[in-house]
Structure 1
């Protein structure tokens, strides 16, 4: 059974690539000189292959023979498949975010995606600039629902790229993203549930405050700030009309990920003071509860 799973993982890797041999029933029948019925039984895992057939498959694959001695999941990792591909082939639940309160109904997830799909500017006051009060304008995109029913998202700030997913709960959304390079930060946004009349999102961001010394990060502190997601459009054509500038891809949008000085109109670009009013972090001394609450 394990060898049959590894064959399926290998076939997923090559996915019909030219010059690579697909290990299917016809291949085993023709090259292994066995019956087509036995070939199908090998591929289903109901019967084990002979050592001769194993050697035939390993040689035809071009994969390091040592990898074929691993467990199926380790084999998949060794040949370069993603966790999602391995989980799909092996029919296992991928390790990761899987809260009981998480909405998982396909219809509900699709409805949430339909409401949030598209490109946003996200705004919050910088937690890492220790010299001047600045606003961070990040570029955020809700991309698609993947084969595991997870809403995939990505973000670009002034320096780094992040990717992750949306965890929808009954009354609000969690966006959880990790830095693509460096693997030293996970950013969490907790926002309201959008609706057809207002697709903007109001929430709190939890992230790292990074103190820089000699151009290198010297200290990391947990930080939180109000965050506002301004919806720009579902397509880049719509975004172009919203920001009154031509963009055709996420790469084009990255130039808008930067710091904004609210006292300097030249740094504002397509951002308005109405956008910035939504991220005020001030808490009045008589405020109850005495806490940072979004859209307050």
Structure 2
């Protein structure tokens, strides 16, 4: 078996059904739309609903809350556990996969966001995202300059983020499109995310303590993962690249629109020397210039020259 065909690429998605199975939106029509759009582009497709997770014994991850609270931009999340189910369904799928297999998670509301119906070349795009981020777990930045402090309840940053300035300043991540290669590192990250989403004061919409002056609204499970990844970058866990994840997806949904980040000024927080960076970007030093050049070569040969994507202006 060749290297190109030695692994499977699977898709998992989630949708709510509405009454009588749950009190969230009835998105059932999207199920078949996703299946029809993706069936010729991935090896296996799985899906979950609140009822299915309750039947599996995971009712706590899709519980209904009385109030959305600080999750003001998407109050419907309160009907489905503030999306604590997201790392859960990824872990459930990982249990059925072999080492090296790839799992894609994608939002399913095609009726509202038509770009979600495009699955053309998604296997190749998924692998390129993993290559570009340099890790076995890919989740994009927002395609605008948004920091964790703006979308994360501040008690999460104080506690999970160890009140580290880097956790406040790290660019916020967006969980509408996730790609995972099964490995020790990706499983550890998923497990940490899953465990953190079990913390009631982190996942719900209530305020605990003072909020950061720049806080706007909470993106619950998404914000939790963003803080965990900020921790991993700061501590160098599993050698996650310091520039991770490097790219964003247009609105988190249009997988054919890729933006490369160029503003890494937040990385100066990690500088523990007295050196002053003048002529080079703050994330470059003598030790990693070679790596940056090698990355640029890989980027040109494996990504840009394939012309499968529209590369937007970097930000």
* TM-score grouping bracket, smaller chain normalisation: under 0.3
The structure that is helix-richer by fraction is 2
Structure 1 or 2, whichever has the larger Rg, is 1
State the TM-score, normalizing by the size of structure 2: 0.26
State the TM-score, normalizing by the size of structure 1: 0.27
